[in-house]
Structure 1
Amino acid sequence: MPRNWLFTTLFLPLCMALSACQAPGEDIASAGSDDGQAAVDDIAAAEYIPAVMPDDADPALWVIRDEDTTIYLFGTVHILKPGMTWFDEAVKESFDASDELVVEMVKPDAAAMMKVVNKLAIDKSGISLRDKLAAEDRAEYEATMTKLDMPVAAFDPLDPWFASVNLSLIPLVRNGYAADQGVEDELLAQARARAIKITGLETLEQQLGFFDNLAEEVQIRFLNFTVDNIDETTEGMEQMVAEWANANVDALGRLMNAGLEDEILYETLLVNRNVNWAEWVEQRMEQPGTIFLAVGAGHLAGESSLQAILAKKGLVAERIEY
């Protein structure tokens, strides 16, 4: 496997890193807030009916308009298998009508990326990752690494959150998913071909900082959760992509946010970021223009969705049917 798979996490919004860990239909713990609990309870209580991948993917799309400003909201999946067709019909028409692309993060060059990784994702305490784990958790972690044909010490220099994200990506890469085939990759290529403005809502340091600033015990819980659910990673991803392709927004939101079992994770990685982005949208609506705003699909579903927060500000996102 190419070594650069280690850094595919840098191309993924953080909720996506959590999302593929939960298998459809499993019991999951509380998200720790009323909104998160509602989403968690729904999927735990109801029998999950797997989605079927359609021949023609038509992901959900919304629009916010006033007299001189239009903002399209598009939910993305950030790692896909090659060959999937989704950039057509209303999605392409809306994108072609836009004069600015806004994404969660515009990834920096390799040198800048490595600088931030070394600063935020590499352990500075001198204690190896495995030595931070309880005996039982360490045994399960090492067994998982062995099952994945990885050296058990491979992630020892990493912070627990970074090890967890990378661990969850191994089954995906081995099952045909490619970090350069995500929705943002296509949108960015199209934007550059048209020479339109490209804006990032966050920087790489901010995105990695969300995880790095978590208490170590929370990071370790995240890692243990990933280990416990590693066998379901690919199945969970397949279902999320199918729900996304079918524009099944509610089901997709439940799947994508199922891994946010700690209140701090739910608030830090989903709610707080949506609040910040809603402020950006509100301010941007004061300027004329047409914007195509593409963020992880989990941010556009559920009680704490970007649209729900915008609605409280009087900005209504209308669903585009196509």
Structure 2
Amino acid sequence: MTDTSINNQARAGAGDAGFGDYFALLKPRVMSLVVFTALVGLLAAPVNVHPVIGFASILFIALGGGASGALNMWWDADIDRIMKRTQSRPIPAGKITEGEALAFGAFLSALSVVMLGLAANLVAAAILAFTIFFYVVVYTMWLKRWTPQNIVIGGAAGAFPPMIGWAVATGGISVESVLMFTLIFMWTPPHFWALALFMKSDYHEARVPMLTVTHGRRATRAHILIYTLLLAPIALGTGFTAIGGPVYLVVALVLNGLFLKGAFDIWRRDEAQAEADGYRAEKKLFALSLVYLFGHFGAILAESTLAQFGAQFGLGGW
């Protein structure tokens, strides 16, 4: 299929978009992570937030995250048409035009930032605005197609939501919110590199300089292990701060032990072994990485809930 026929097909399909197609532009799976980590940041903060303000703030943070996804799909429409895992997205599928995605993403970006500033405070709104800018301009437009460090540096965009949630409650930034940011920031490279190992042809065909393309798969396996080794002490150290505690430490010990083992298993393998079993270890680590992040932030949320329960009923130790 030629580029011309693809464009004609896209124009022919445009206008048939429904609510589900526009919702897909928001990258709902990514948005769920944004919402969850922002909510944990908000609830873990040492300041109570009125439920209405909290709900509105999380809603606008979600819209900002979705706006970033729509603008990412607008800019990446050309490579989304090439990569197998993205060909069903609304733009390459011909449901929504690139111009419509741009207008939709820009509108939601402005709306989310302004409304978060009105609902919460200017610090939270400023961090959200910077997050959208970083993801769309710094990562999508620049880093993604320029350097194999795209995921390393660009991972900061996905690490900001808990800081935004914390800022909604406190109006500022603290050691604890920076630790939550760092946890996601260091988790992102092994998470995406594990995916890149078994999505082997997509990044090559789209000419995206993922580490697997520029430095090879052996180097990628080594980088996954190195970043996992760097991630573990950060994750465990968080347990000894105000947002940590015994529940968090138990969860962190188990998950980091499993994650380290998975990274080591991947490092020991070569491509022949991986291809022989259909990249089973790589897919297992990718799935574990999702459990890893939700588990750590779920434990932070549990510690916050227990602390509030203990304060309410005069219990010590929480």
TM-score by length of 2: 0.29
1 or 2, which has the higher strand percentage?
Answer: 1
More helix by share: 2
Larger Rg: 2
TM-score by length of 1: 0.29
Larger RCO, structure (CA 8 Å, separation 6 or more) = 1
